[in-house]
């Protein structure tokens, strides 16, 4: 059960998200705010597990609000403007929901939130062993368990502030560490950094739409500073940018 905060200047948008949360059955409490200024006062004295945050709001927008928080909760952006996705991920949001938001898409974002909250406290670490990396794998330690993670199982990695979420065939793994550290561990022969907050397995890059890589239900943003190198590596001609 999680404590949720919704910030959106549109009452209907807030009601839809709260309705989805109640339908999901995992929200312990849900608090709504119609503007960021009121919410900022709340967060000065309270915490939350997850924040559903609109971007285009009067007085203070969602991006400035998030920057003003010293310890922001796990955040999902909710907005009608797709162009904010890149900045959102750079601020460490876990997902980006484009309005109008369907329940299926909302459920997918909520699953990401639940997985992250459940896994981040397991103190999972990567044991750096050059010998094992040469074999195309890396050792992951979680509590007393040690799991050999094959590079071929990993589809992509998302950086989330001080954590990295590794998406693999067997599920997700949350590692304490930066996306930069993951970039150094996962070899360039198999993986490519496509955004400040994302690394993707090269053999999974099959479909690109504008500035996004489509991986099933996941849409991976391609950062401006990474696009040229990505297209070069996968052999796409510059005329197709």
Domain of 67, in residue numbers? 2-119
Residue 128, pLDDT score: 64
Shortest CA distance to 198 belongs to which of 141, 156, 240? 156
The CATH number given to whatever domain includes residue 236 is 2.40.50.1020
More reliable by pLDDT, 217 or 30: 30
pLDDT band at 236; cut points 50, 70, 90: low
Tell me if the pTM is above 0.85: no
Kindly tell me if the per-residue pLDDT of 117 is higher than 50: yes
Burial track 96-125 (b if 16+ CB lie within 10 A, e otherwise)? bbbeebeeeebeebbebbbbbbebbeeebe
Same domain, 142 and 109: no
Note the pLDDT tens digit of each residue in 183-232: 998 999 999 999 999 999 999 999 998 889 999 888 899 998 999 999 99
- Average pLDDT in the chain: 88
Residue 239, pLDDT score: 37
CA 175, CA 200: separation in Å to the nearest integer? 16
Same domain, 158 and 227: yes
- Residue 92 contacts residue 197 (beta carbons within 8 Å): yes
Kindly tell me if the per-residue pLDDT of 129 is higher than 60: no
- Per the structure, how many domains does the chain have? 2
More reliable by pLDDT, 238 or 113: 113
> What's the whole-number mean pLDDT along residues 76-103?
87
More reliable by pLDDT, 121 or 177: 177
Same domain, 114 and 198: no
Same domain, 89 and 197: no
Same domain, 109 and 130: no
Tokens found for residue 159: 């950086």
Neighbours of 150 (CB within 10 A): 13
């Amino acid at each position: 059960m999680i404590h949720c905060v919704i910030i959106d200047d549109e009452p209907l948008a807030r009601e839809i998200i709260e309705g989805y949360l109640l339908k999901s059955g995992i929200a312990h409490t849900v608090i709504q705010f119609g503007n960021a200024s009121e919410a900022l006062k709340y967060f000065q004295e309270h915490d939350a597990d997850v924040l559903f945050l609109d971007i285009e709001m009067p007085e203070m927008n969602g991006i400035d609000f998030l920057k003003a928080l010293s310890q922001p909760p796990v955040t999902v952006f909710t907005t009608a403007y797709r162009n904010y996705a890149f900045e959102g991920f750079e601020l460490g949001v876990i997902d980006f929901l484009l309005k109008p938001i369907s329940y299926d898409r909302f459920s997918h974002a909520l699953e990401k939130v639940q997985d992250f909250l459940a896994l981040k406290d397991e103190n999972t670490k990567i044991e750096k062993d050059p010998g094992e990396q040469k074999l195309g794998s890396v050792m992951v330690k979680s509590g007393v368990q040690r799991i050999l993670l094959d590079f071929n199982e990993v589809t992509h990695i998302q950086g989330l502030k001080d954590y990295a979420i590794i998406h693999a065939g067997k599920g997700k793994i949350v590692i304490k560490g930066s996306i930069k550290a993951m970039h150094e561990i996962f070899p360039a022969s198999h993986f490519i950094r496509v955004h400040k907050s994302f690394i993707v397995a090269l053999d999974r890059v099959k479909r690109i739409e504008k500035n996004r890589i489509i991986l099933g239900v996941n849409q991976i943003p391609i950062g401006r500073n990474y696009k040229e190198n990505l297209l070069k590596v996968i052999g796409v001609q510059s005329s197709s940018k």
